[in-house]
Structure 1
């Protein structure tokens, strides 16, 4: 039986409750989910869901100390901080214990993925600010994964059934995007996206659209010069390098480009210049049924398309569809990646 690792994320957010609900239906194939986190936290959220909306956990929550102890017919929780007392931990407030749990869960899952003991990792959301409570660097999942696997050319992609967006810059203030939008960074993004569409999605010749940065894609320099100075030259360079495996088009004004995806899939992916340029249209089309994928890793990692949602954590109203979608997508991508080797 193969195992998919689910990291619990921030115990004070909605991660535990969406994992519980996402695991209520069996996954296709001979696949066993194992949660990296704390059984006590999941039991807390199971009790909350029962109280708030009469929800019943279909399987017993069982703490295990190794993957070898995981069994079908129960919700297996690999204890990543077995000595940690989580009593009194609530929802919606930062807690140093949650910082330890979210980091330890990912680190343990990375170890098991490196050893090929799990086929993929799907992460529930965590809170970066928590790390200041334990004097650890304020980082996201992607940075930890890229460092662990020595993957400098990683790319954040969010994907639904129709639209996939790859981000050239990610968590950068809008006023700084132009400064960090270098030719080398854009080339990396296009190259990694092209290769991963082949490896993970089985696309032999990837159709990739490239957004402009400015309104109207700069309108020939009237509204900005980044298209002429950086984006167009990179597209020409990459067309030559990726000839035969990638069809590049652009730079496009992003407003009219994304309108094409309302009823069709004109491109296999869109390379975006900054975070909201890609995520706004992606979430308008697919919110709740899309996932975050870290491209450029030797393993498959997916995540949800939302954050920890402190404002609704512990109320029993968080939706689990994105977590389930991310789990199923991870298994689909992992199977295809295994076939490509």
Structure 2
């Protein structure tokens, strides 16, 4: 099968965003309802949670809700509050050279993926990021020189909190530095366990271990795969080779001084690059964020997509991948 990746640019929420939402809404809605409507928070609960934890996003949220159709289900979905559970693979690391560089592989099921790289200037803050639900993002950077990325944290627990892609969007909308981001990561509840790596233009970085049932841990590690301080979900760890990928990256950083290009290239080969689409954890793309320069490369083994705040062309890439099996529940 092929994935049609799109790059879209729209300063303020408008017809481009609304058109994408109409296109994706049937699939979004089916996913959001898969555990039953009674399993999702009400509109009032969702808005109250946003007001408590992300008040700066409320005007933007309401604007997007109107563009999405203004109905109850769209508004509850766009709040990202207590969404259905979802898992991903992913690897990410900070290059140890002088230039701030965050590289990540996004490993997920291609039929549950927006495949939209968005450049926005919402609320006067430029952001480039890979969309999730057209409000959240799974990785991205802002025009203040801050980059952020996520991996699944390898734990089964689900609790009350926000889907992590909206937390990443919130960080890029309101934060200038890693210190700003840490305040959000230790304050805003996340509904599942995720590892969030943040890098700023001074090359200061942290990885935050988010969980729904215990306090956030802030680590100075430059590497994150699919466990946190230790493996807790052993079958998932074996399935995704999280320990092996972490060990490979740590060895790469400590034993093999190399150029940025070679470091990025390592993500395009095993053990980091995965073709396990049949179990839902194939590598959909590699992203290399250079926040001090406002540049990102989206990479595949045979293609390179160069984007920046100064030069962001609305175009597309068609990437062929192995045919996956049906998405499990």
Q: TM-score range by the shorter chain?
A: under 0.3
Relative to total residues, which structure has the larger strand share, 1 or 2?
2
Relative to total residues, which structure has the larger helix share, 1 or 2?
1
Q: TM-score, normalised by structure 1?
A: 0.25
Q: TM-score, normalised by structure 2?
A: 0.26
